[in-house]
A and B are shown apart, each in its own frame.
Chain A
């Protein structure tokens, strides 16, 4: 059964720092991995999707990498801003049928 973990559970950094969020999954038979952002009381917003054949994807200050063989992905946020404060979740597809989510990393960027 696919299991997804995320480290750290929470992170607090001063504005301007670069930071890395980690996601690990147990079964490498995936189509893709997706990173989401969730603000308190809101739905999930898709940030980046990495296909299993890709190594990384970039969007603005965000860069996500995928090492499928080792079951790991990282989300790199450059020059963090207070507006980046949110919970970040990663998810992998479960043989294309549904998705398995990690518990999330709660990020606070302090002004």
Chain B
């Protein structure tokens, strides 16, 4: 089955630690995205990547870093510089058909800072 996997499902971090969230897709999509969702709120874009070895900052990139070394993988590192990292993190990928850009989502990772 094609899809997007995120791991772990739950992650706990101590203050001052960096943590990396995994996102893998086997949909052969070029573009991948990371979003943050806070309780009762919509999605905010952290980073996105249109092709391998290239990525752009979204609206809330401060305190986060990404890499895109392989087409199927787009890991997100939450650094100690992110002051309020407790949130639900969603990874997505998209395909462009020439007429539409359709986005697909993984199941999410819930990060809690202790």
Residues of chain A touching chain B, judged by Cβ–Cβ distance below 8 Å, are: 31-32, 34, 36, 41-46, 49, 51, 53, 89, 91, 93, 96-99, 101-104
CB distance from B70 to the nearest CB of A (A): 20
Complexed CA–CA distance, A42 and B56 (Å): 26
Number of A-B contacts (CB under 8 A): 62
- Cross-chain contact B42 with A103 (CB below 8 angstroms): yes
Cross-chain contact B102 with A43 (CB below 8 angstroms) = no
B27 within 8 A of A: no
B41 close to chain A: CB less than 8 A: yes
A-side interface mostly: strand
Tally of B interface residues using CB under 8 Å: 27
- Contacting residues, chain A, for B88 (C-beta < 8 A): 41
15 A-B residue pairings within 8 Å (CB atoms): A31-B100, A31-B101, A34-B103, A41-B110, A42-B107, A42-B108, A43-B6, A43-B106, A46-B104, A51-B100, A53-B99, A99-B33, A101-B43, A103-B41, A103-B42
